[in-house]
Chains A and B, each alone.
Chain A
Amino acid sequence: MNYLMGAFKPPCNITITFSDGKTRKQVSVKKENGKTAMVPVFQSLETISGEVSIDPVQGKKVEHTGVKIELLGQIELYFDRGNFYDFTSLVRELDVPGDIYEKKTYPFEFSSVEMPYESYNGTNVRLRYILRVTISRNYVSNITEHRDFCVRNYSPVPTMNNSIKMEVGIEDCLHIEFEYSKSKYHLKDVIIGKIYFLLVRIKIKNMELEIRRRESTGSGPNTYVETETLAKFELMDGAPVRGESIPIRLFLSPYELTPTYRNINNKFSVKYYLNLVLVDEEDRRYFKQQEISMYRLLETPASS
């Protein structure tokens, strides 16, 4: 294969660097091949700038009809494989047609780029941002190189954040009231709450709180829904009696959560639910699911 590789080897190396690449925060993301890589993080309306360097392979020249860099925001639906939907596309021309004989460096800048959606890597959908450099050529295929980056958008602390309080039960069998202190949580938040047992006529073995992610993609008849349990957190061991109250304290930081995404570009949604599950001695499960809204709070050094 080596010679083949050699044959199709691009005649030049393209490197994309960010101007603040050394200092910018990086996060690890999972790539298609399963490996994780560190990528820089941006947020909406930031200026993305850097340099593209094209270094032709020794003794070769690169003939081109133009060099451009694009900033793309793409949504990729897995059931619709190969079709990327670009919701953002910005282009900067880097060079006029000509030949490149030796390493050439082009600075670029996308200022105040609007990136309304966060990068997301889900079960059926991926939302990603890339910078793509294209060297257009005649007769032969274009040479492209891309660089991923990650977008994370921060939300302020919501002004309204009501608690979730609910009374549920099965008549003459089980009656509980639960309370989660908030309905909106940031990603490193703690879920505080309480469960009151108002009536217990079944033999409960234990109780757990699940965090579930519901990812729905597509629309209309082509809607795909994938639900994933991200956390199973045992709250209670044994059978309570009437009048007991069980505390909830669930730290969200160990789990890989994202903010809630609602109808991203009409392509997909990601929602989070708290699922309270009671298991009885015959392993029957009684549950109640409640949506919670997740948001990303800007991490200030003080709050960490």
Chain B
Amino acid sequence: MHADTVAEDEEKWLAEGIAGVQQNAYYMHRALDSNNLKDALKFSAQMLSELRTSRLSPHKYYELYMRAFDELRKLEMFFREETTRGNCSVVDLYELVQHAGNVLPRLYLLCTVGSVYIKSKEAPAKDVLKDLVEMSRGIQHPLRGLFLRSYLSQISRDKLPDIGSEYEGDADSVNDAIEFVLQNFIEMNKLWVRMQHQGPQRDKEKREKERSELRDLVGKNLHVLSQIEGVDLEMYKETVLPRILEQVVNCKDELAQFYLMDCIIQVFPDEYHLQTLETLLSAFPQLQPGVDIKTVLSQLMDRLSNYAASSPEVLPEFLQVEAFAKFSSAIGKVIEAQPDMPAVSAITLYVSLLTFTLRVHPDRLDYVDQVLGACVKKLSGKEKLQDSRATKQIVALLSAPLEKYSNIVTALELSNYPKVMDHLDNSTTKVMAVVIIQSIMKNTTCVSTSDKVEALFELIKGLIKDMDGAQDDDVDEEDFKEEQNSVARLIHMLYNEDQEEMLKIICTVQKHILRGGPKRLPFTVPSLVFLALKLVRRLQGQDGDVVGEDVPTTPKKIFQILNQTIEALYLVPCPELSLRLYLQCAEAANDCDLEPVAYEFFTQAFILYEEEIADSKAQVTAIHLIIGTLQRMNIFGVENRDTLTHKATGYSAKLLKKPDQCRAVYACSHLFWVEDQDGVKDGERVLLCLKRALRIANAAQQMANAARGSSGSISLFIEILNKYLYFFEKGNPQITSSAIQGLIELITTEMQGENATSDPSAEAFFASTMRYIQFQKQKGGSMGEKYETIKAS
């Protein structure tokens, strides 16, 4: 309500002001038309008196000012005509307008005549300008003063005694031009700063907003300065910049300091900034604590790095002026000077500096490290950051080198990198770790020394182990898996041609991941195991004689490590996984001709099977795995082999479900018949297994009959038949065609039996088996002969 009426009133006042301007302008025009100088002055002064109002907001005042401004243009034209016609000398006119009793109209008129005066060249431009800028001190009201001086700036812009200008006077006149603009700038800034103290405290916010609207009036002066031809580097360095900075620092106003620093950076050329870096930067620590230095400095660094990027030939200059060192120390000083600066601002500054150095000095890794080090220093002694914006900035800080070098290895050389990470909270540490890993993945970076691996794992330790005081309860399961999978992927990226180093890497990784706790191990251990096995295979691919005691990298050693690693999984527990890993290892050991090792792995696998794997389904899977692996083993001596196969067969027969038993047992048959050159070929025991399987199948069927009144599927028999056929073909003497014949008949009978349930898949299976037999028969040759004796259907 209150605000509304204020706005309404303001509209009214503005309307009145405009009406006043228009009315007096009308009379002024009449006087101009009749060449009546006296009246023209009188009415123009009255018109300008409308600008004496204190009731308008800057926005509205501007509107009024513009009206008067247009009229003044006409008046100026009149003055010019009047003086060129010789009706009145410009000097007299210059005095005449000063007879006006009110200071504001007087000064507007003075400026207007002053413009004509300079143009007439009857007096040196510098003298007129000096007088105008000095006289303008009469307006101490901020708003009115700003507009008056802005008018002065406007009319004088094209009349500065600049180098090459038609108003250029004697040798040093450019100094006068600069002095004039500087002075006007300083006075305007003072007025602008003072504005905040006008009026009641409660309107402060509104006032600051209004003030902000006026900033370009002040900033315009800097722009004018930058346009002056005579402001060369020397001049800028010696005079212009120090004067501007002096004013900026002394005005002690946040709004102004922020805006003006930004202005300086924007309007003057990059080259100047580079050459005056020290001076410019020295101003920053002196600014008010509330000034958003980070934005301004970032701007500057951005600009300079763009400058460096756009013209590589200026790079030596950067080095020559030690741009980085200067920025670095300036930031240090700013932070020191503003102890209350929030961490986020400080870090943002470092991010900018980092970006700068990455762009300008990409080869100077030590700079990057310095930046990080400084950041660590700033953060040291503080708790972990809670401020989300600050952490975001740290992530940016840490990501920047990764992006730039697209090679984590570079980052790993930065000693301060992990120290910075220490200041992140747990969840952010993880985010950062994921970022690092992703960077590695994206660039398929190969991390190739154990030192680096050590450093890398130090960096991503957020993912590797539980952090102190971490609240993992609320961690999303999905995210956790994602993270751990990425760690697992990362492990595969570690590689070194040199086996010894590779072993070291493996040890390092092992050291780290074993600390991961039960939740992480199932994800990470397999990766490590396979990484190690990869090395084993590389060793094994070499000449056999490397397997010696003096060679540090032996498969044996690796297997020891593997053993330890897998053992760690006991804690989890996840026996199925361990079992698979053991079997993998066993197989690898087999390939390395390390019988005891392989035996040991099998033992472990069996123990696991016995002690840990209770679930029947898991048992079935496990036993098949064991059988499969064992079958491929060829290094075991008779005794060891017997023990293991015996065990395996034993377990098979002890499975819970009959069909499972049956299938496991017939699978065991393969343990006794290995198709290698010198593989085991124990036909008798094969037959034993198969017969046993048949028995079990029978028993299964009977049980089915008893329990459900229908005989179960005959598919077991068909499966066994297929095993028979396999061994028959392989030439196992114990498997005779008659036995096969018998089995076929048995199946046929069963299928036609009264209790038989129709089982289409089994029938199809049988039919195709029979077709196979038929096919083999027709093939002729030795195989055909073999099959001759079997009657199919």
Chain A contacts to B: CB under 8 angstroms: 204, 206, 231-241, 244-247, 249, 251, 253-254
Contact = CB atoms under 8 A, between A and B. Distances in A.
A244 B138 CA distance: 10
B144 A234 contact: no
B138 A251 contact: no
Which 10 A-B residue pairings sit nearest by Cβ, starting from the closest?
A: A238-B141, A238-B140, A234-B103, A240-B140, A254-B99, A234-B102, A237-B139, A237-B103, A236-B138, A237-B141
Contacts of A246: 137-138, 140
Contact of A247 (B99, B102, B135, B145): B135
Interface string B97-117: 011011110100000000000
24 contacts: A204-B140, A206-B103, A231-B101, A234-B101, A234-B102, A234-B103, A234-B138, A235-B138, A236-B103, A236-B140, A237-B104, A238-B139, A238-B144, A238-B145, A239-B140, A241-B190, A244-B140, A246-B138, A246-B140, A247-B137, A249-B98, A249-B135, A251-B98, A253-B99
Contacts of A249: 98, 135
B103 A235 contact: yes
A244 B191 CA distance: 11
Interface residues of B, number: 21
A206 B138 CA distance: 9
B95 A237 contact: no
Interface in B124-152: 134-135, 137-142, 144-145
Contact of B101 (A232, A240, A244, A245): A232
Interface residues of chain A: helix, strand, loop or mixed (majority): strand
A239 B135 CA distance: 16
A30 to B, nearest CB: 21
Given A235-B138, A237-B104, 14 more contacts: A233-B101, A234-B102, A236-B103, A237-B52, A237-B138, A238-B144, A239-B140, A240-B140, A241-B140, A245-B137, A246-B137, A246-B140, A251-B95, A253-B99
Contacts of A204: 140
Contacts of B95: 251
A247 B101 contact: no
Nearest to B143: A238
Interface of B: 52, 95, 98-99, 101-104, 106, 134-135, 137-142, 144-145, 190, 194
A136 to B, nearest CB: 51
Contacts of B190: 241
A246 B134 CA distance: 8
A251 B99 CA distance: 7
Contacts of A244: 137, 140
Nearest to A236: B138
A139 B194 CA distance: 84
A237 B52 CA distance: 9
B747 to A, nearest CB: 113
Contact of B134 (A240, A247, A251): A247
B137 A237 contact: no
B94 to A, nearest CB: 11
A26 to B, nearest CB: 22
Contacts of B106: 234
A238 B137 contact: no
Given A247-B134, A249-B135, A251-B98, A239 B141 contact: yes
A110 B227 CA distance: 72
Contacts of B104: 237
Contacts of A239: 140-141
Contacts of A235: 103, 138
Contacts of A241: 140, 190, 194
A246 B98 CA distance: 15
Contacts of A231: 101
Question: Of B95, B104, B138, which is in contact with the most chain A CB atoms at under 10 Å from its CB?
Answer: B138
A236 B102 contact: no
Nearest to A204: B140
